[in-house]
Each structure stands twice: as structure tokens, then as C-alpha cells.
Amino acid sequence: MRELIDLRADMLKALAQPTRLKIIDFLRDGERCVCEIFPAIGEEQSNTSRHLNMMISAGVLSRRKDGLKIYYTIKHPEIFAVMDYITEMVKQDIYGRHSLLKAA
């Protein structure tokens, strides 16, 4: 049972970082080459590669090699639903704070 908890924590940690969230958002449209990812998210290639490798290890992404190019994709499309739920919760919190400020 402890192993499952650790694996869940690793996957959540892989999602909980701004650069990795940018990568996930960029991959919503499907598989992309690393050569497309790093310029699109505004990060250095070496930094992007570190994040991609971390997300591979955590089970968030999968990759394939085609010649010299390496392509990445979201391993479990359910990740997008998780991100959408979190986005909605954040929006509700922002709306709630905004409403409180207006009432004050």
C-alpha cells in the first residue's frame, strides 16, 4: 500500500511545477517533438529536457524516438481532466476572493 501512495505522490509532484504545467498544456494538442516544446514554453532546451525526463519517470508522459527527433505525449489523457478540475477550483477561489473584496 505504501508503494501506491508514493507513486501517486510522485505523479502529483510531477504536475506541481509551472514549467511542467506549460508542457502539459502544450501537449493538449497531441504529440510534440522536444524541438517544438522548449521554444513554445519559453524555456531552455536543457531545462525542458530535465522536466520532460522527470515527467517520464513519474508516469505522466511517454516518448518515442523517430530518427534524431524525440516525441513526447501525455501517457494518460485523464491528466487533462485533473488539470481542468484544478483550473475550475482555482477560478472559484479567485471569484470568491473577488466577491469578498467587492463586499468589503
- Domain at 49, CATH number: 1.10.10.10
Residue 103 lies in a domain: no
Q: Which residues are within 8 A (CB) of 65 and not within 5 positions of it... i.e. 6 or more apart? A: 71
Domain count, the chain: 1
Residue 84 lies in a domain: no
- pTM for the model: 0.86
Per-residue pLDDT tens for 59-100? 999 999 999 999 999 999 999 999 999 999 999 988 887 776
69 close to 33: Cβ distance less than 8 angstroms: yes
Residue 62 lies in a domain: yes
Mean pLDDT of 5-25: 94
| Helical H segments across the chain, by residue range | 2-15, 18-26, 34-41, 45-57, 78-103
Residue 41 lies in a domain: yes
* CA geometry: angle 59, 77, 24, nearest 5 deg: 70
Kindly tell me the burial class for residue 78, based on how many C-beta atoms sit within 10 Å of its own C-beta (0-12, 13-18, 19 or more).
exposed
Whether residue 17 is predicted with pLDDT greater than 70 in this model: the reply is: yes
Residue 26 lies in a domain: yes
Structural domain range at position 36: 2-76
